Structure 1
Amino acid sequence: MTRSRAFAHRLRRYYGWYTVVFVLFVLLLALGEQLGLSQPVIGHVFLFVTIAIYAAIGVMSRTTDVSEYYVAGRRVPAMFNGMATAADWMSAASFIGLAGTLYFSGFEGLAFVTGWTGGFVLVALLLAPYLRKFGQYTIPDFLGARYQGSVARLVGLAAAVLASFVYLVAQIYGVGLITSRFVSVEFEIGLFIGLAGILVCSFLGGMRAVTWTQVAQYVILIIAYLVPVVILSYKLTGIPLPQAAYGSVLQKITVREDALFDAPSEAEVRTLYAARARDYQAKIGGLPDSLETERRALIERLNELRLGNASAREIALTERALRDLPRTPAEAEQMWARARAEALERSRPPPRHAQAHPGANAAESAVARNNFLALMFVLMVGTAALPHILMRYYTTPGVVEARRSVAWSLLFIFLLYVTAPAYAVFAKWEVYHNLVGSSISILPEWVSSWGKVGLVKIEDLNLDGILQLAELRMDTDVIVLATPEIAGLPYVVSGLVAAGGLAAALSTADGLLLTISNALSHDLYYKVVNPQASTHRRLVISKSQLLVVAVVAAWVASMRPDNILFMVGLAFSIGASAFFPALVLGIFWKRANRPGAVAGMLAGLALTLIYVVQTHPFFGGSMAHAWFDINPISAGVFGVPLGFVTIVVVSLLTAPPPREIQDLVDYVRYPELRLYPEREE
């Protein structure tokens, strides 16, 4: 048995025992719950035991060797690199957000499933083996070598930091969401609890520690994702195979939608929301006078309440409304526009779950179809361009192992993605069948629990005391985390799901933090600022940058910028437009040169960012400025073609790259060539 096979055999044995012990741990907690163990204790145990496991692996994997720190010594077997890549890939967006998106969007949400999985086909065919053949440590490394020097490297570095930072904020936001709910602490405190777990995993051992931690995290997250949906499948269909059984429940949902959407009470509530939207539109049209009228009315109302026999609650609510009133007409316009958009959305029936490209007419259906295709394209191309994923293929022993690890990655990712549609269908059935139509005075406890963290909101708009579907607002990110409680499963299942979501968020956050810190320390400091820096100094710089980036990302996440899935989609658009054209043409077209690559990366990235800013409400934009009604999450669909065209045109108008660069392309593309044997080390 060769040394590498013996190493792989030991790893299989270690992680096999780890899986068995974790399953026994979950069963032990389930037994404890039956014997009276309280829910807060279960939540704390799940959270802190799993973080302790990751921390222990991180400490045991500490290293001061540059190759180990940056690329795990290039000795990670294909199967385990596939598990680590899957964990790195299946972020809080996949674990927490994907089923929620399928819940609310139905068929349209399949763009995420097909886009993300299809992207790994592009990785296998176009990038992974060639980047591994090139060697080195980072994606800007390749750009700097292929496009001759620091300019392309620095542009790639800036794009890598931007895409990874947006993605990182989403992960830390997910960590805060989970810890604040299951440990009963403030959201901001939950952020920094999770941040401690992230730093312990990546600070001491770099890629080596992150890799072995991510393998452990994959085991937990896939068990956590499958257990509740398998139980739900057996409960609802009698078949513990959700991927095959959810079709019968989907048929029931279709029948329930027919009855629910046409109910008179639902129509009444949606009419009231439409009237609210018109009121907000009138307020916006009457600015600035309408803001002053609103302020005077609240002041008069507050004075009346104080002089009368009003309850303390009424006075407090009016004081809060006055305090939250916008201070300037510009603030009022932005706030009321968001409120109007929400009211308009709730005035319409939700899309039917099984309907492809829903719309009131052919034009609306065409818009839905175009957005589906645009999103699928951006997610596929973005998958093949995200630096923290591509870096993983530097860690394999060779080119063949890099290809195999992509196949393993697809298998491990497939297990979750093929289950997400079932998760959404089962959760929707529980809500439509058991929650909607209930008395608001006796709603389940989970509604209140998730309401405290702002993910579930209920408004009895027609004052009939009955919960209508339009009066229920659930955040996308709550579906997976709350489904065990929605379905009445034991609390230990909720704790397990929280541990899985935490594993998904931490694993991706580890990889992203490492990508950013390595880019700053290796590509900026070592390659540009101080090429004579010692190994010790390089690692010190990397670790210090890691700390700074982690704290800044946590601070941004504490502002709750947007839902997890949009932030992740934005990272994909940034990565796709900045990297994909330059990487693909750099590998497959010798004529691509430095001016073309730099211009292409800058043009694609700039167009993507401009489109997001002018169309997304968070940045003060509006869909009135959208091109072809494409949603801002798919902004990269414009940036990627522009990047390709710009690289080609500028490269043809300028001098071709020198002979040694064209030889480098041959070396990267053809396995038999050994022009630069040191790159294989």
Structure 2
Amino acid sequence: MNSAELAPFATFAGYFVVMVVIGFWVFRRTVNLSDFILGGRRLNSWVAGLSANASDFSAWLLLGLPGAIYLSGVSEVWIPVGLAIGFAASWYLIAGRLRIFTERVTDARSGGDSNSLTLSSYLENRFGDRGGALRGVSAVLILVFYLFYVASGLVAAGGLFEQVFDVRASVAIILGVSVIVVYTFLGGFLAVSFTDVIQAVMMWCALLVVPAVAIVALSMDPGRGVDGGVGAVLGGVSGLDGSWTFTDALGPVVVISGLAWGFGYLGQPHILARFMGIRSPREVRAAGVISVTWAVTAMAMAVVVALTGVAYFDPPLGEDAAEYVFPQLIEALANPWIGGLLLAAILAAVMSTADSQLLVASSALTEDGYRAFLKRDASPMSLVWIGRAAVVVIAIIAAWIALTGNNTIMELVGYAWAGFGSAFGPVLLVSLYWRRMNRAGALGGMIVGGVTAMTWQYLDGRVLETGLYAMVPGVALSFLAIAVCNPLGRATGQMARDFDRVDEEFKEPEEVG
């Protein structure tokens, strides 16, 4: 094995070892379900902020987004613009109130502070739903959408290993999911959060280094690249099978659909878990600044990766290879050992999101399924082990989807992102700010939003042909369903008292500061 072959193998192996060691390190600190699901609410602002980034920006950031911009030009830039706005809004509008509400709202079944560990349990307690309809419906939606979301990460891992090591994607998917399962199984939320910090740093550094080196290389070789260089893509061009064609970057549907991605942040359970796990509402502001700064700069650099790829590769990469413009630049520009570290950052992006999603899906089965409906008095450690078993089961199903499907990373992520944003975004936002919202409004908004997101692609493709991203009709109809259904129920006195108590506590940190 020569140096070029050994380098990526060694860096990937070292990365795997570090992740598993962290899992063993926090294994003994996981003694109950609260530790396994939310780390006992012990995250400081740096860990919470960077973990939110790493759990959010998956292979989509390093593969899907640069590939989409490489193919479709500036029309795809509306997506990161919308995401930047939405991410900042989620920290400002959601994080602080959700952190307090999930701990303070009265338990719908037993009374007293609930310490809601999941989004589903929060909805049940917030609206006093003793029958469990909200919890059951939300848990089912979470499981369905996360299977596709985790599968998107495994598809990315498969493609990366296939390119770097020339192994079959199926082998790579099995290897990747095995490592993710090991440290998530062992350490739960704390293992996922601590590994996320390392992964966030690796991703950001790789996004900084690769386009910088590419720009230097281009400046030293002005004859390289397509006519017009980087500037060509700013007009909205698409590289398809060796040719460049103009695209509509300012069309209303393109702009609206791209910006609509931002609303998805208000309903992503794996990101909301970081808001719930931060140790104090007073640390939300600092965590938000750290997190949003990272996100905005990382997405900007991902766009630059695509633009430098347009200028660097002549003839352009084919449509099937566009999602791998980032690793292609790494292989073309970096020596094997540096390249191995940069490629490991892509793997970090894949794993940092897949582990968080596996954990939330496991929580849906354990906390919102087994404990809520089968055995409420289960012992703390038995719940932890059931959660660990659920991680394994969900990972196997997601791997099967990845192995049998042929969807691109962007398609799989887009489907799941719209599903969560439509089903939970409007319901969560209104629940935190409207005192009179009740169970009927929440259930109606969640079901209508989720069903719309699941069926829109088929309906629009076969009948309407608008080209709108599913998030747009999903969110709009969810808000409408909340308004229509809310009069069918009522807000109890306990719900009103909980809202007032949380609202008062939420304002205290601002007054102290």
TM-score > 0.5 by shorter chain: yes
Q: For residues 98-124 of structure 1, what are the alpha-carbon distances to aligned partners after superposition, in whole Å with 9 as ceiling and x for unaligned?
A: 111111121111122112211112212
Distance 1:655 1:425 in 2: 52
Q: For residues 601-621 of structure 1, what are the alpha-carbon distances to aligned partners after superposition, in whole Å with 9 as ceiling and x for unaligned?
A: 111211221212334xxxxxx
Residue 515 in structure 1 maps to residue 495 in structure 2:
no
Call closer, same or farther: CA 1:254–1:393 in 2, change over 3 Å. closer
Residue 183 in structure 1 maps to residue 165 in structure 2:
yes
- The aligned residue for residue 120 of structure 2 is 140
Contact kept in structure 1, 2:77 and 2:258, CA below 8 Å: no
Which shifted more, 156-165 or 501-510? 156-165
What amino acid maps onto 1:628 in structure 2? T
Residue 107 in structure 1 maps to residue 74 in structure 2:
yes
1:626 alignment partner, one of 464, 467, 478: 464
Call closer, same or farther: CA 1:541–1:256 in 2, change over 3 Å. closer
Distance 1:418 1:40 in 2: 31
Aligned 1:61-72 pairs, distance under 5 A? 61-62=26-27, 63-72=30-39
- The aligned residue for residue 229 of structure 2 is 252
- The aligned residue for residue 16 of structure 1 is none
SS in structure 2 at match of 1:504: helix
**1:37: Cα distance to partner?**
4.4
Contact kept in structure 2, 1:73 and 1:395, CA below 8 Å: yes
Aligned 1:178-577 pairs, distance under 5 A? 178-237=160-219, 252-254=229-231, 350-351=245-246, 356-357=249-250, 368-377=251-260, 379-432=261-314, 435=315, 472-485=318-331, 487-577=332-422
Call closer, same or farther: CA 1:430–1:593 in 2, change over 3 Å. same
Residue 640 in structure 1 maps to residue 455 in structure 2:
no
**1:528: Cα distance to partner?**
2.1
2:19 alignment partner, one of 48, 54, 76: 54
Aligned 1:136-175 pairs, distance under 5 A? 136-149=116-129, 150-175=132-157
**1:410: Cα distance to partner?**
0.8
**1:77: Cα distance to partner?**
1.1
SS in structure 1 at match of 2:40: helix
Call closer, same or farther: CA 1:525–1:403 in 2, change over 3 Å. farther
Contact kept in structure 2, 1:130 and 1:587, CA below 8 Å: yes
Distance 2:243 2:162 in 1: 32
Contact kept in structure 2, 1:168 and 1:553, CA below 8 Å: yes
Contact kept in structure 2, 1:250 and 1:425, CA below 8 Å: no
Distance 1:642 1:613 in 2: 17
What amino acid maps onto 1:396 in structure 2? I
Call closer, same or farther: CA 1:672–1:84 in 2, change over 3 Å. closer
**1:381: Cα distance to partner?**
1.0
**1:256: Cα distance to partner?**
9.9
- The aligned residue for residue 319 of structure 1 is none
Call closer, same or farther: CA 1:109–1:255 in 2, change over 3 Å. closer
Q: For residues 212-260 of structure 1, what are the alpha-carbon distances to aligned partners after superposition, in whole Å with 9 as ceiling and x for unaligned?
A: 111111222222222221211222237xxxxxxxxx99953456999x9
Contact kept in structure 1, 2:97 and 2:506, CA below 8 Å: no
Call closer, same or farther: CA 1:609–1:66 in 2, change over 3 Å. closer
SS in structure 2 at match of 1:475: helix
Call closer, same or farther: CA 1:223–1:644 in 2, change over 3 Å. same
Distance 1:482 1:411 in 2: 27
Alignment gaps of 5+ in structure 1: 1-35, 239-247, 267-344, 358-367, 437-455, 457-471, 616-622, 675-681
Contact kept in structure 2, 1:42 and 1:492, CA below 8 Å: yes
User: With structure 2 as the length reference, what TM-score do the two structures score?
Assistant: 0.89
Distance 2:178 2:306 in 1: 32
Call closer, same or farther: CA 1:646–1:236 in 2, change over 3 Å. same
Call closer, same or farther: CA 1:256–1:215 in 2, change over 3 Å. closer
User: With structure 1 as the length reference, what TM-score do the two structures score?
Assistant: 0.68
SS in structure 2 at match of 1:350: strand
Contact kept in structure 2, 1:102 and 1:109, CA below 8 Å: yes
**1:581: Cα distance to partner?**
1.6
SS in structure 2 at match of 1:614: helix
**What percent of counterpart residues are identical?**
25
Contact kept in structure 2, 1:249 and 1:425, CA below 8 Å: no
SS in structure 2 at match of 1:75: coil
2:451 alignment partner, one of 596, 606, 616: 606
Call closer, same or farther: CA 1:627–1:584 in 2, change over 3 Å. farther
Distance 1:557 1:545 in 2: 18
Residue 579 in structure 1 maps to residue 417 in structure 2:
no
Supply the RMSD in Å over aligned alpha carbons: 2.7
SS in structure 2 at match of 1:648: helix
Contact kept in structure 2, 1:586 and 1:665, CA below 8 Å: no
**1:514: Cα distance to partner?**
0.2
Call closer, same or farther: CA 1:85–1:495 in 2, change over 3 Å. same
Residue 80 in structure 1 maps to residue 72 in structure 2:
no
Q: For residues 381-428 of structure 1, what are the alpha-carbon distances to aligned partners after superposition, in whole Å with 9 as ceiling and x for unaligned?
A: 111210000011112111121232122111122231121222111111
What amino acid maps onto 2:165 in structure 1? V
Contact kept in structure 2, 1:576 and 1:640, CA below 8 Å: yes
Which structure has the bigger radius of gyration?
Answer: 1
- The aligned residue for residue 491 of structure 2 is 657
What amino acid maps onto 2:123 in structure 1? L
Distance 2:160 2:242 in 1: 31
Distance 2:242 2:323 in 1: 22
